[in-house]
């Protein structure tokens, strides 16, 4: 019995070769298209929101500047020189007394009407300034295009430089 066992060889263990299926890494082509499409839509929506928000901010920053020039020129048209003088910046007031301002305005042709044609607000490292261009119709019938320089002082826009 012992010999029989010796002479008999056991067959080698069957080698099992299993095919290992690796999970697919990454997205399929369809998945990539879907992700890129969604990303594109999100970017277009974000861009639209940024454009609208920017337009609203520009409107908010331009309106007070335009109103300041509107009030200044309306004061000049109505002959209220003292009110117009109060709409000047400190630097310009330092060069003109109210009397000198009144005399200077009275030497100029009278403004009969006006139309604001351009408003621009500038921000240089937090220092705000603006320019407003207006067509001033004078009593001679001539239309003078004048650019007003403005600065923000104490939270309000005021006319600086050569006021008129």
Spatial separation of the C-alpha atoms in residues 163 and 134, rounded to whole Å:
12
Torsion of CA 13, 14, 17, 18, to 10 degrees: -100
For 35-66, what is each residue's pLDDT tens digit?
Answer: 888 888 888 887 777 665 554 454 457 999 99
- Whole-prediction pTM: 0.65
**Full set of structural domains in the chain with CATH:** 30-160 (3.10.450.100)
Looking up tokens 């298209």, which residue turns up?
A: 33
- β-partners of residue 115 are 135
For 99-148, what is each residue's pLDDT tens digit?
Answer: 999 999 999 999 999 999 999 999 989 888 999 999 999 999 999 999 99
């Amino acid at each position: 019995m012992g010999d029989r066992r010796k002479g008999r060889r056991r067959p080698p263990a069957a080698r099992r070769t299993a095919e290992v299926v690796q999970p697919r890494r990454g997205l399929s082509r369809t998945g990539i298209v879907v992700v890129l499409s969604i990303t594109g839509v999100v970017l277009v929506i974000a861009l639209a929101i940024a454009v609208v928000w920017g337009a609203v901010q520009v409107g908010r920053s331009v309106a007070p500047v335009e109103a300041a020039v509107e009030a200044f020129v309306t004061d000049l048209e109505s002959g209220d020189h003292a009110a117009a003088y109060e709409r000047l910046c400190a630097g310009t007031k330092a060069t003109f007394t109210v009397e000198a301002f009144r005399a200077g305005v009275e030497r100029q042709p009278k403004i009969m009407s006006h139309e604001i044609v351009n408003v621009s607000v500038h921000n240089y490292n937090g220092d705000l300034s603006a320019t407003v261009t207006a067509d001033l119709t004078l009593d001679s019938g001539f239309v003078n295009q004048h650019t007003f320089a403005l600065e923000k002082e104490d939270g309000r826009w005021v006319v600086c430089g050569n006021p008129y």
